[in-house]
Amino acid sequence: GAGVSQTPSNKVTEKGKYVELRCDPISGHTALYWYRQSLGQGPEFLIYFQGTGAADDSGLPNDRFFAVRPEGSVSTLKIQRTERGDSAVYLCASSLRVGGTDTQYFGPGTRLTVL
């Protein structure tokens, strides 16, 4: 079946603007994760969902970041008042269940550049 998809693949925006990044998980996966990867680093956790609810948002850097998953499938990561430091690759992953014992499958990422 289809893997995790993310749109857009690239997003260039200006400082202060609002952006939305979309993730389509693998069908039937109840767990969905957002990570952020800066150049030369490993991905860092932002937030994860079990079904529609955010089970853990402890990785979100501040209140400019917000994510939703209203129907338990597609998720949108929203960033308000973007800053140059938000530039990174935003990765989405899904797994069959939450709990750390299932393989997480990653999408291709959205490269966000804030000018």
Partner 1 sequence: GIQVEQSPPDLILQEGANSTLRCNFSDSVNNLQWFHQNPWGQLINLFYIPSGTKQNGRLSATTVATERYSLLYISSSQTTDSGVYFCAVPNYGGSQGNLIFGKGTKLSVKP
For partner 1, the closer CB: 48 or 65:
48
Sign of torsion over alpha carbons 25, 26, 28, 31: negative
Interface residues for partner 1 in 47-76 (CB under 8 A)?
Answer: 48, 50, 55-56, 59
Structure tokens at 62: 């501040």
Distance CA 100, CA 96 (A): 10
Euclidean distance between CA atoms 94 and 48, whole angstroms: 9
Q: Rounded CA gap, 83 and 16, in Å?
A: 6
Region of 19-27, 64-72, 78-86, 102-110 interacting with partner 1 (CB under 8 A): 102-110
Q: Does 112 engage in binding with partner 1 (CB under 8 A)?
A: no
Site string for partner 1, 9-48 (x = CB under 8 A): ----------------------x-x-x----xxxxxx--x
Torsion of CA 73, 67, 98, 111, to 10 degrees: 90
Which residues are at the interface with partner 1 (CB under 8 A)?
Answer: 31, 33, 35, 40-45, 48, 50, 55-56, 59, 89, 91, 93, 95, 98-106, 108-109, 111
